[in-house]
Structure 1
Amino acid sequence: MYGMLLESVQHFVRTEYGEDMWCLVLEEAGFKNSVFTTHQIYPDQLILKLASCCSQHTGKRTDDFLHFFGQCFVRFFSHYGYDTLIRASGRHFRDFIHGVDNLHHQIRFSYPKMQSPSLYVETEDVKGAILHYRSKRSGFAYYVIGQLVQIARTFYGLELDVRILRNGPDSDGTGCHVIYHLQFDNTPYQKQQMARKSLQELTDLSPISGRNLFILFPFSVAFDRNMNILEVGGKVRELFNFHGFIGKHVETFFLFHRPRVVFSWRNVLTLQKVVVELECLNSCSERKKVEDRRCSASTRNLLLKGQLRHLESWDAVIFLCVPLLSNLQEMEEVGLYLTDLCIHDRSREIVLAGWQHGARLEVSYERQEERSRRLETNLKMRDEWKKKGNDLLYSMIPKAVAERLANGEDPITTCESFDEVTVLFSEVVDFSDLCLRLSAMEAVSCVNDVYILFDRIIDNYQVFKVETVGQVYMLVGGAPERRHDHACHVANAAIDMLKQLHLVDNKHCGEGVRVRIGIHSGPVAAGVVGRKLFRYCLFGDTVNTAARMQSHGEAGKIHISESTNKRLQHSGYITELRGTINVKGKGRMNTYWLLHKEESPWQLSTTSISK
């Protein structure tokens, strides 16, 4: 289908349900960042997917949204001037439904790849009509109802009631066939019947001879009730280079191309007010080839477009038609010349106009499609850069806090107190010696490799990296996301840091880098302060104590306070009493070494990083 149908859906879903819902629906339908353009071809089932996704988010039925989408298209196409075409199609709604196939023919030059459905009226009376809808697409029954209801209301001031009598596969199994009962005020039908009867009574002209009729319409065909050919026009004889037409079944040489119905006498009588296309078969063997490609958009055989008329005096039907050609290339493919086309119709003008403007239209379509592709690429790049920006932001500020700031909250409102968290400090030891034997860039490279390893490790635990200052690395568990097992997550991260430190592969680091780690649990205040260079900061004595645990520790060991040790008891962690030590600024404290963790419900994730 062409993009104009999807443009209408996009416009009105955005208007009535909001941009956020449209973006979500588009992503769920598999078309995130798609920019629909009028003349680009899209999958036929996309509208059905969009209706289904809208239904899931609103609670309305999918059929209700298809009905809504059909109405959207009628409300939208006025932007392109097609409302003028609808108004010009007839004085009454019955004129529109009788001539809707004609409208499809009129716009096929603007949309050459359009696979339009076939609609024709079977019967009508003063209360309504029976309308047949045939299409290669399935699932659009309610979409068509939406279009019909909106057209009747907008252009003819009628309230249309539509009931589906049949909704199933077509006779050949390649599409769908829907029969609608349309109920509306159809009093113009009665007036038209009376006018026709009056005209028949007043007209007193002598009948026209059949010979003149076939001269005026050199591509015409006449056949009787048995569907046997009575006569054909002279150009048809020249085209086939065969004179044995008379008495042969009409389907020997012609097939219905549009509408897609069985070539029977009953159907022929029903289709007298519908534009009909017959496909000429150059040989009998062509029939199976055509039937095998019925779902194709076009063929190389000649198409004849015209009207079927029942002539009571002959008790036969004549097909008054002209060749259906768009440009010189198509005319050449079917073996015709301009002199073969009638002077009294517009076949010649259409062919020449298509040749003159086809190339220019094609260039315009290609430019529009290229702009659409560039815009889609830019939107995808925007999403990628947005994700990178968010990843960078979330590495500096916790995601929950960053989202609050993005919603316009003042930074100070993010500050809150926590009854207990666990804070870890880690420092690369002998850093001064490292700086003496290495250049500044080599020392930074060495420390950077250590921090990259630590960053990968903490991704496996529910902890947040607060900051790095020089050779010191700080993280916290239990803030901003409150959790009772914060000490266990921090302890697991610390054990992994020591176990995987040997993975640092930097030639400047010598035989290996050593770190000492300190951990303490206690209350803190935390939040974002300031208005520039936002950082998530921790405040309180717990931070100072954790720093002292690190500075009073030993290389290659995890030094923990008594409060942290209590938190880790009965969770499978093996600790060892260090004793009572004098801690600067804190006095004497009982501290412990965290040795390792026994296998328990808490499993260490030590293999994922190395892999």
Structure 2
Amino acid sequence: MADSIANGEYTLESVNARAKCEYDFDNNFVYDDNVADTIITLAIDVLGLPKEPLLEMIGEYYLTYLEKRGFDEMLRNLGHNVLEFLQNLDSVHVLIRRDYPDMVAPSFRCDEDSSSDRMVLHYYSKREGLHSIVKGLTVEAAKKFYTMQLEMSVVSIETIKVSEENGFREHVTFDVTAKKIKEQIIEEGPPTFIAQTKKHSEKQILKEDVEAVKQKLEQIRLQLGENALPLNRKTSVQARWKIAAKITAMHRGFVPNYPETLAINPRMFIEMFPYHVIFDNEMKVVQSGIKIQMLMPSIRSRQAVLSDFFQVRWPSCVDLNYENIGRFVLCPFILEFRRDAMEREWNDRPALQLKGQMFLLRDRGFYAYMASPAAHCWADLENRKLKLSDIPMWDVTRDFLVANLEYRKCIETNVRASLSGSQTDGRRISVSGARRGSLGDEAAIRDRISRLQSEAEKERRKNEALYSAFLPKDAIDLVNGGLVPYGDFQPQVTALFCDVVKFLPIVAKSSPQDVIGMLDAMYTTFDKITRVHDTYRVESIGDAYLVIAGTGNQKEHHAERVANTALGMLLAARNIKAPPDNISVTLRIGIHTGSLVTGVLGNRLPRFVVMGETTVVASKLESHSEPGKIHVSPTTQTILKDKGYQFEARGKIDLRGYGPLETYFLVKNDLFSDEELIGRSHGNQEVTYINEGKVEATFAKQNKVHPLTTSPPSGGASRQLTGESEDTIIEFKK
């Protein structure tokens, strides 16, 4: 074992070789937990060490590793003692979560009655069996930062469930005692402190401090009565003395002055803290800040439940309930507003998140969540239509935004200096130095920067336009972020397959220019109709046109949206002329609803693809359709019936590979005019969800359809689509 430790590099290389891992690990790469488990198991075998001591050594080194990675200043200043250090460790994980967004971080919490030299530590982790690493790290941090020697012993280990999905945690409870490594020698004589034995935590509490506490408690008794004193819960003099000593220890000799009543009234409180929520042990909201009420008016209800308005983003993989808040109370909580609970204008904005802390209100068992909007840069505000005035002046978020602006100005200065050819050696260009340059030179530099920025913006827009031609919006966001979406199973989508009747004879009789002109007019018109009904064109080869709905973020009403797209395409085809006879184009359309597999293929030129029987059946229905008609499968017809659509029975047809199938022709939608289906409205009046206010009461109640004469419920899930100015956008609401 000694030889293995002495030849550390060789030993590590041999362990990695046996584990089939690379020798040089990338600090920015996230490795599977099985890799660490394999390396630890092999290291135990090679070194001949028991598992627990080895993990403790790993924990000791991990603290040194974090210091080398630039976290030394933060770790040194987490708290005044070991207790405060442990209670603030969760904040470190929040700061690095942007680098590791999928990390399920461990959490640390000490019991309320813990003190700086005696504490009970609760450790929660998704990874089992690594609590000895925590022990090694904590002991090393106590030595290095606080010159304290810790004794840590495991009291209990259990597995608890904190979430329905990926929500099991190992809960380890440590008993921790601490003492100074270099203790002062107490001289013989009259006692200076209350207790001078190592056994008592009150050994550094002066008698004068305790007497001051007793005098203050006597003053409280005279003013508020006997029941206001915690000392009255104890009967013996010794127990009362210990309570007074503990109060002094908690405040380091300082005696706080608690007011008899609060000087602030409830109205001022919710205005001063506009992003706070107070809730009871049943998670019912009893109080909320004024900004939260403005964003979610329904939270003012007495029956409002916190989980109906927020979802937890941090700590990750944790359900929002009363028990979990108690377990992770020292962890910063990031709560995200639920879109269906917010005002309608938030449906097309990025989700708003709050970052804050949970406080236990011991008198009634309530929790108070004191928070502020999570904004890292000015773009975070602008994208959410927020202003600086929406953040309280006392909120440090304002300072972060100003610091972000200063950083951008510094970058601009460095870019300007590099473009002008000057050398700054990493220093900011001084104001006096800038004044010495000629105005002509400065104007030329500004003009060059402006041109470069304009050209970069043009290229960015070109890339986005190119991507939008063959990728859905949610896939574009991932690709722009440097990611390629993996394949995804879509349980229910609706597919439309369309082609032009007698397309090959048209091609044979017409010039290439006329054929391309016809297809261009057809695709331009059909693309506009897909934007109106929020469907997506997957592919177009020749005269074939494939449309789907029900993937990505817009999964609702997919059958209705595809059906309306098909009706709009038939109507629009009347105005598209086919060469050489200049007659209207005739279409054949097939529609089917079922499951699909979707994904993006390729890195250099990503393409969105769909695979599955749904598109195959839609294609077969199109080929078996009649000219100028929409051929619908029984699955789609079942979804659309009783929703204002007219059908004509086609009868049974024999689809090769599927056998006899009862099919239908979709004739029309009684609830929408032809102009509305192709995206033109009368008098520029907005067109909303097709069946609003035009269906029977029973159907409206079952499907949550609201009439046009009434306002929709707060937070209706609609998404405004962008199209050309003459397009009428059709919105779907829950």
Q: TM-score, normalization: structure 1?
A: 0.47
Q: TM-score, normalization: structure 2?
A: 0.40
